Every structure is written in C-alpha cells, then in structure tokens.
Amino acid sequence: MSDAYRPVLWNRVKYIYDAVLICVVVIYILMFLKFSPQFHDVTRTVEVSILRMRAFGSCAYLMLTFILCIGPLARIDRRFAPLLYNRRHFGVLTCIVAGIHLNYVINWYYVFTLVDTDVALLTSNVSFGQALGFPFEVFGMFTLLILVILAVTSHDFWLSFLTPRVWKTLHMGIYFA
C-alpha cells in the first residue's frame, strides 16, 4: 500500500487567498521601507540592509501574531472562518518571510566573520547572564526552527503519515514560536 499525494492541490479560492496574502506582505514591506525612516530619532541614517531586516522581521512577527488570532476569531465570529481555509499557506509564507529576514541578518552582521556563519551566529553574543544585551537572536533561531518544522510538515501527507493527533500536537508548537 502507498499514499499517492500530489505536492499541492490548487483551486481558485487558494489562488486568490495566496495572491491577497502575497500582495499584503509586499505592500507592508514597501510601506515599511518608505515610511519607517521618518520615525527614526537617530542622528545617523539607518542602513538600507538594516531597514530591510527590520521590515521582514516585523512582518514575520505580525504574520505569526495574526495566525494565532485566526482560530479564536473564527470561533467568535463565523465571518472570519474563510481565513482558516488555507491557514497553512499563511504559515509557510511566514516561514519564508522570516527566512528572508535571517538572510539579511547574516549578510549584514555575519558575512565577514573569521569563523563559519553558524558558529558566529551561536557564539557572537553569549551574554545570557544579563537582561540588557541578552542574546535575543536565540529567540529568533528557536522561532525560525519551529516555523521551518511546521512549514515542512504542513502538507496533508504529514497529517496522514503522523496521524492527526501527533500532527496537531506538533503544530501546537506555533504557540511556543
């Protein structure tokens, strides 16, 4: 016996859902890049790469927050139910946006390190004993790891393979993220 799954089953609603999602993300990034410099109260202008990493980082954070709101909202008011549909694509896009954020972080802060990038990422800030300057990157790594695991296992194949109970437990990891 074997499962015959196609990678992704598309239909019109999914196309529209994804198109709207991608448009909103693009508009957010463009607006962040255009308008956020006006709110800076620093004397030196912030580098474009840093602006970009902040744009994608904050976008991923907002998307994650919104994903967590969809479930309760759909229970409170059925008009939000359509958002539940295809929520997995929302999660995968969040993972991609967070991945782009990491790409900017690495290419700005870790590109010229003498050790490997991953080693630099894990060892450049180890001030775990203090609140100010605490290595917040660890939280980002932890979150991104969860997002990647959930994105990779988001397909129906994994739902069937892992059983709905295990799959659901795994995907509750989004709350830790």
> Min. distance of Cβ 51 from ligand HEM in angstroms?
9
For ligand HEM, the nearest residue by Cβ is 140
In angstroms, the Cα distances linking 58 to 20, 24, 136, 157, 165 are 19, 14, 14, 31, 32
Which positions touch ligand HEM (CB under 6 A)?
A: 50, 53-54, 57-58, 60-61, 64, 98, 101-102, 105, 109, 121, 137, 140-141, 143-144
**163 CB-side CA count, 13 A:** 3
> Min. distance of Cβ 122 from ligand HEM in angstroms?
9
The answer to whether 147 and 94 are in contact (CB under 8 A) is yes
Select 93 or 105, whichever has its Cβ closest to ligand HEM: 105
> Min. distance of Cβ 137 from ligand HEM in angstroms?
4
In angstroms, the Cα distances linking 52 to 49, 55, 66, 78, 117 are 5, 5, 21, 36, 20
Select 25 or 102, whichever has its Cβ closest to ligand HEM: 102
Distance CA 156, CA 53 (A): 32
> Min. distance of Cβ 136 from ligand HEM in angstroms?
7
Residue 119's Cα: distance from chain center in Å? 23
Select 10 or 136, whichever has its Cβ closest to ligand HEM: 136
Select 17 or 95, whichever has its Cβ closest to ligand HEM: 95
